[in-house]
Amino acid sequence: MTGPGPFPDVARVDARDKVRGMTPYGADNHPPNLAHAMLVTAQIGKGRLVKVDTDAARAVAGVQLVLTHQDTEGLKADGYLFANGRSFQSVQPMIGTAIAYRGQPIALVVADSLEAAIEGAEQVSAEYVTAPFSVTLDSEGTEILAQADLPLPKPAFADKNVGDADAALAAAPVTVDAVYDSAPQHQNPIELIATVASWDGDELTVYESTQHVEGIRQGLAFELGISPDKVRVISPFCGGSFGQKNAMHAQTVLVALAARTLGRPVKLVVPRSQLFHNTSFRPPTRHRVRLGADRAGKIVAAVHEIDQQTSRHDLFPSMATDTSARLHGIPNFRSRERLRRTDVQTPGFMRAPWEHAAAFAFESAIDELAYALDRDPVELRLANELPYDVVTGKPFSSRHLSECLRRGAELFGWARRRMAPRSMRETDGTLVGWGVATGAYPSVISPSIAQLRVTDDGGIVLNVGVQEMGQGARNAVAAAVADVLKVRADQVTTLLGDTKGPPPHLTAGSWGTATAVPAARQAAIDMREALRKLQPEASNGATPAGILRHAKRPFLEVEARHQAPGAPDAVFDRMKQGLLAYVGPEFPEFVSFSFIAHFVEVHVEPATCRVRVPRVVTVADCGRVVSPRTAASQLRGGVVWGIGGALREASEVDPRYGGFLNADLAEYLVPVNADIGDIQVDFVDKPDPMLNNAGVKGLGEVANVGPAAAVANAVYHATGRRVRHLPIRIEDLL
């Protein structure tokens, strides 16, 4: 397959609407006679409800309805995403009296106004029987499970055992053996999770901000016991998500139920303080990494062992070593992944869900090895590239990590780096550190259906099942169509995020572009052929509308399907059921990953040890870049987040009471503008020749794989302190 040529830098097709506030987000929809809802949440770490007292709440002026577990008869829990459900966890609150974790909803108050709903929610009280709970990796009562022994699909969730890593490690003259910890984190998209539900007879319409309208449609129908044909879910825009909104949340069905009970549309925006307990989060992890090398700097063995938190009720599996095994060409590789069951809501996807922490650990260890060998860390990595995947023995569909490293080093001026820690300073004594780290992320593909319609008045309308979360999906699919039909991207109208359209896939895991763009491109190619048949003698400059008018045809419509190489047709059935349907990164003929290299400069003020990050250079290999502007934005965002992950972010867990303490943006620290310096991003921009007809791989997640490690490695270079946990704080450096 050959991909398209380089793409022009096109302004966001939705930019004008966005800056004018014209973009309809979920909670912006206000049907007539709308009622407002507020959740009440459990105030114990674990246990059982004895009584919920709603009398005082019902007495608040304007309160119309209070739902508790006594009002949910017939409601079913849909189940957990990784266990063929569509919810972020298997526990659906307010079915029964069990309390699995602090912050679980116990009541929904609905009123004429938001103020009355809040006041009513504050008046609900509850009595509980409490039970002991554990909330950290090391709490008493935490249950440790070997992932390989769990009923999860094999070989996807089996430990890796390539060559003989232990023997090679034992024989290696130079070794690293270190343990790294990462804190739990919550993504905090600006748009909160929210549901607006309204019924017209037995037909339900839900406006919600999500990465997967079909998952919500199917999941809701199951929970309510109605036909999916009666449910429509609409989410044309989503104000940030990063994995948080890729499965159904607890409030959706409760709001739908309230709307049906009340005979009025109901809206709920879950407050940020409640969001910390009512969405998934990035679980804490612990990594032991052992590396062995010969004296010439050939890395001969790696052992990567991981412990990751999960909930008591679900298995959120670790997939981290799928990636760490592919970062470098290490011929002997062994992994062991374990889950630790605790009493929290089920953790889940958050941008580079496993790879952020895994790359911090693995790429810190590679840096430690570079110092043990006295080898430049860029050179060490370049010397350990292999042209094939050691895990499967298959080729990579494309792998330009060396080019990322070389170009990044060039742009950064890496050649001027002195190897020794504490060897570079500003004239005022500020310690300067330069760090490097690489990253990788699986390229996977979900099935996709694209419908393209051109009309004789110049309309070009693409309807494709992909979600726009701000990442630039609209730009990418519009550019793909525009490139083939030789029109401008802003001439293509994109319809997405509505279950009335072709069945949409879950847009996650960085597969959105590699999923929707090939389908959109194929539809455009089919359209071009259909237009050519209408007017074979048309000149190259003829527009689709011109050809239609010439042929006296009001419109032309085509539909194209795309699926991963080697994917069974059954993936389309799974997609139509709103289930996970991706295939990869191991395909019949090859293995596919995106790659990245990050170069970071830190300044450490010697007296206070305050860490600043004045500049970063990041170069990515994501195959062909179809939307240069939004791709660059994705990369910058990933780097900013990496800086936050390295130096700021942690969800604070209180082992005495359970739950998360810093549950708002005042206390959950993220970088602000003053924390971010110059970020230069660049792309290899070579089409992947094997993965799909557009030559695209994924980008969103790989951006967040490695930047935290590069910061940590730069901190070591500046200070001589090797901090093996995230986040790195002033007290670690004093």
Nearest to residue 432, comparing CAs of 418, 411, 448, 415? 418
CB of 512 to ligand MOS, least distance (A): 9
CB of 508 to ligand MOS, least distance (A): 3
Burial (CB count within 10 angstroms: exposed 0-12, middle 13-18, buried 19+), residue 326: buried
CB of 351 to ligand MOS, least distance (A): 5
- Judged by the rule CB under 6 A, the positions of this chain that interact with ligand MOS are 211, 242-243, 246, 349-351, 353, 508-509
Strand partners, 52: 126
CB-CB contact of 105 with 254 (8 Å): yes
CB of 185 to ligand MOS, least distance (A): 12
Nearest to residue 540, comparing CAs of 525, 528, 549, 550? 528
CB of 446 to ligand MOS, least distance (A): 11
Q: Which residue has the tokens 């794989």?
A: 705
Assess whether 559 carries a catalytic annotation: no
Nearest to residue 180, comparing CAs of 310, 312, 291? 291
Query: Which CB, 255 or 702, lies closer to ligand MOS?
Result: 702
555 — phi, psi (to 5°)? -160, 165
CB-CB contact of 212 with 509 (8 Å): no
Query: Which CB, 157 or 434, lies closer to ligand MOS?
Result: 157
H or E stretch at 33 = none
The angle at the Cα of 357, spanning 356 to 359, to the nearest 5 degrees, equals: 70
Query: Which CB, 276 or 599, lies closer to ligand MOS?
Result: 276
**Which residue minimizes CB distance to ligand MOS?**
243
Q: What is the 3-state secondary structure (H, E, C) of 150-208?
A: CCCCCCCCCCCEECCHHHHHHHCCEEEEEEEEECCECCCCCCCCEEEEEEECCEEEEEE
Query: Which CB, 265 or 509, lies closer to ligand MOS?
Result: 509
Nearest to residue 417, comparing CAs of 409, 406, 426, 405? 409
Angstrom CA distances, 238 to 370, 471, 614, 671, stand at: 43, 10, 31, 22
H or E stretch at 302 = strand 299-311
Query: Which CB, 266 or 320, lies closer to ligand MOS?
Result: 320
Catalytic, out of 223, 586, 649, 701:
701
How many Å apart are CA 278 and CA 347, to the nearest integer?
10
647 — phi, psi (to 5°)? -120, -10
The first and second tokens of residue 246, run together, are 């890729």
The first and second tokens of residue 236, run together, are 């044309």
Q: What is the 3-state secondary structure (H, E, C) of 92-108?
A: CCCCCCEECCCCCEEEE
CB of 139 to ligand MOS, least distance (A): 26
Query: Which CB, 252 or 279, lies closer to ligand MOS?
Result: 279
Nearest to residue 621, comparing CAs of 600, 643, 593? 593
How does 553-565 read in b/e, with b if 16+ C-beta sit within 10 Å?
A: beebebebebbbb
CB of 701 to ligand MOS, least distance (A): 6
CB of 620 to ligand MOS, least distance (A): 17
Query: Which CB, 246 or 311, lies closer to ligand MOS?
Result: 246
CB of 148 to ligand MOS, least distance (A): 23
Query: Which CB, 187 or 522, lies closer to ligand MOS?
Result: 187
Nearest to residue 476, comparing CAs of 527, 528, 509, 518? 518
Query: Which CB, 265 or 347, lies closer to ligand MOS?
Result: 347
Q: Which amino acid appears at position 141 of this protein?
A: G
CB of 84 to ligand MOS, least distance (A): 17
Burial (CB count within 10 angstroms: exposed 0-12, middle 13-18, buried 19+), residue 705: buried
Query: Which CB, 79 or 509, lies closer to ligand MOS?
Result: 509
Catalytic residue positions, numbered: 701
